[in-house]
Structure 1
Amino acid sequence: MTDLFDGAAVIALTQALVRLPTVVIAGIDEVETPACALIAATMRDYGWEVTIEEVATGRPNVVGIVHGRHPARTLMFEGHVDVVTPGDVESWSFPPFSGDVVDGRLLGRGSADMKSGVAAMIHAARAVELAGFDGRIIVGVLADEEGMMLGAKHFAASPLAASGIDGVIVCEPEGGEICAVAKGAIRLRVDLQGVMAHGAMPHQGRNPLPAMGSLLMGLSELERQVADSVGIHRHLGEFYLTPTVLAAGDPGQLNVIPASASVFLDVRTIPGVGHAGLLHLITRLAEQIAQDAGLSAAVTVIDDRPPVDTPEDAPVVAALVAAHSAVTGTPAVLGGVPGTTDGTILTRDAGLQTVVYGPGGKWIAHTRDEFVEVQDILTCTRVFIAAAQSFLGVGTDTAAAPPATSPVRPAPALPADAGESAG
């Protein structure tokens, strides 16, 4: 079977994106900008309707719209190009932003999470356009996925999100699994407020640290109780309530009882866990422990992302299942996203049906020596094409369509100054 796309161009675009270090670095404003400049240029070269909107300084959303021949469904492909830090560069066995292909693997930070997915979805949309289709394709590269998902929140509040998007494929790495469900996440801060005092005169103060120890033990028991009550989800596993950061006192002032202590929590929920009820239990626990110790407590919700539970028979899921089976010759495997994606926000804020599927290993994101199999990129591109054609329908104006084997044009050369501000 002849591919509808230029495989070499997909790999070349992935390499170009990986070689741009789009890492969030303190003091550096430009994060996605150089990669988004390349993506926008690629989309414009195809004649797509392209918009670029900054959701924060140096954090643009790039959205391309491809119109079919007749009104029908709208399918959105979604991804991001911001990446987490490589950490200790010396611990890598190759340069973190290599982009080289070695032994069939494309190497570098962001190769799997998720610049290969972005390249695959762009070229898939182009191939579907060249073959002819009905409906509309939206290709969204949204900012700040690795942070507070500002790009997804901005898009979800836009008129385009409310214009009738019938399904969203989030092209994150899932190791070949089709993930219609994703864990929810609550980021919390709990502050216990006491009274500062001299370490030699603790009776004059109210120390929040012993109470913090009680709170941590209470949270551990709450995690056990909730986990026992909801059980283990077949795709998402267990409920987690994890303290991640503790802050109190000054290491340079060992003789001072601190006035306050804080704990930050990363809560990962599954369907069946009500976020409002859980937040109420955590707040009651903190307030009771604080009251018993003569302290006050405050609970701050930093972000609240509910679980995604798209029905397995939703059209966008069914299209992916059929496409995966047709392209790979193997039955599709349904799975779950252990974290959250931009799809979580698109579902929560815009009510869109989302499903996650893309090239790369399921557990490789944010690790050292990140890579993606070249064959996986090409396979996912084929699946995206087949899923889009199934979901949207093939255009009926076949006389105006170019031959189905017409390859997508290679991406334009990277602008000479595109990477200067990436840091």
Structure 2
Amino acid sequence: MTDLLAATAELVDIASPSLAEGPFADLVEGWLRDVPWLTVDRHGDNVVARTELGRDQRLVLAGHLDTVPANDNEVARIEGDTLWGLGSADMKGGLAVFLELARTVDAPTCDVTYVFYAAEEIAAEHSGLLQLFRERPDLVAADAAILGEPTDGWIEAGCQGTARVRLSLTGERAHTARPWKGRNAIHRLGPILEAIAGYEAREPTIDGCTYREAIQAVFVEGGVAGNVVPDEAVLTVNLRIAPDRTLDEAVDAFRSMVAPWTEDGDGFEVVDRSEPAPPSLTHPLLAPLVEAGTPVRAKLGWTDVARFAEHGIPAINLGPGDSSVAHMRDEHVTRDSIERVHAALHGLLTAS
């Protein structure tokens, strides 16, 4: 078998920061066009390769080409069975696995679509995956999907949703020497912040996976001058939402939570939102991974599995590398992690 740690190192040495993935996409496209059993399409800096075997079901294996900016870690370095370097965990180890499968598994038990897409690490408006869903949905149509985000070989099932809510409270200006003549909008935040700090997280269990919701204050804005009672205070709150309810239901619950301390004239705005995705562990294309003993846990963060779920495609996260070292200067991945993921996916595609 190919030395997958060395193959990942080769990918790390190819710079692919967000919005500059073109040269990397060129190489991936060229490698895949050399595979006789694949049909390859290029759309922007997104490369899609598909088997066309007429199988009853189709599985997507998807991963992003881009990395965050380098931090003196753009050159791959192998020490023993560990590879150090930018993108090694997030997610060129996963890409190396997908490329190996694409070039070696010529008769998978289901048709497979390999999706290598641009611009995952930056704002959604640039997302190559969203570009494909918007402009070439035929290329990403499937019955199920596996996203190669770093999970260290675990199935991280579904993902939690996320929303940011901007809560604006009003007051009345006055001189701080005579505060009784005004109303301090910042002081009005006090009981709301206490309620958030005392929030007891919901922990629903779905398909054996326990999720843990969160409500966190992330920004506070306010103040006019050092001698003025402020007439406005703005609190931004991040909600993390388990997949047993919709984002709208979670937002409504938060609105009710803060309602005792808000009033007419205050503002409540959802400024950013991404729906959760269910675990999907019982889907017939994904269940064999669980049955083969691949360990499972809930995905507490948000990933692009939610993009697939929004389009009716059940999806899970499964890739090499530890997500806790992603984007760090000492980002790394181990040989064992890469090889375990390759073995799991090879077994899935070949029923072996």
TM range (shorter): 0.7 to 0.9
Report what 1:137 is aligned to.
112
Question: Deviation at 1:262?
Answer: 2.5
Report what 2:289 is aligned to.
320
Q: Deviations over 1:15-50 (max 9, x none)?
A: 2432355455xxxxx343343333233323436444
Report what 1:103 is aligned to.
80
Report what 1:338 is aligned to.
300
Kept in 2: contact 1:190–1:286 (CA 8 A): no
Amino acid at match of 1:139: Y
Question: Deviation at 1:260?
Answer: 3.3
Report what 2:344 is aligned to.
383
Amino acid at match of 2:189: M
Identity of aligned residues (%): 23
Question: Deviation at 1:351?
Answer: 0.6
Amino acid at match of 1:212: L
Report what 2:276 is aligned to.
306
Report what 2:165 is aligned to.
188
Pairing partner for 1:79 from 63, 74, 82? 63
Amino acid at match of 1:51: D
Pairing partner for 1:272 from 241, 244, 258? 244
Give unmatched runs, 5+ long, in structure 1.
25-29, 55-59, 90-94, 326-330, 392-423
Amino acid at match of 2:213: F
Give unmatched runs, 5+ long, in structure 2.
none
**Scaled by the length of structure 2, what TM-score is found?**
0.84
1:64 aligns with 2:25: no
Report what 2:215 is aligned to.
241
SS of 2:120 mapped into structure 1: coil
Q: In the superposition, relative to structure 1, how do residues 67 and 22 fare at CA in structure 2: closer, same or farther (>3 Å)?
A: closer
Question: Deviation at 1:204?
Answer: 6.0
Distance 2:185 2:245 in 1: 30
Kept in 1: contact 2:277–2:305 (CA 8 A): no
Point out which structure has higher relative CO (alpha carbons under 8 A, 6+ apart). 1
Distance 1:191 1:36 in 2: 44
Q: Deviations over 1:223-258 (max 9, x none)?
A: 32x52xx556753442211122223347xx434444
Give the paired residue count. 348
Q: Deviations over 1:170-198 (max 9, x none)?
A: 11121222233322222333233445555
Kept in 2: contact 1:239–1:269 (CA 8 A): yes
Kept in 2: contact 1:232–1:238 (CA 8 A): no
Amino acid at match of 2:220: L
**Scaled by the length of structure 1, what TM-score is found?**
0.71
Kept in 2: contact 1:51–1:64 (CA 8 A): yes
Instruction: Give the CA RMSD over aligned residues.
Output: 3.1
Report what 1:394 is aligned to.
none
SS of 1:116 mapped into structure 2: helix
Report what 2:184 is aligned to.
207
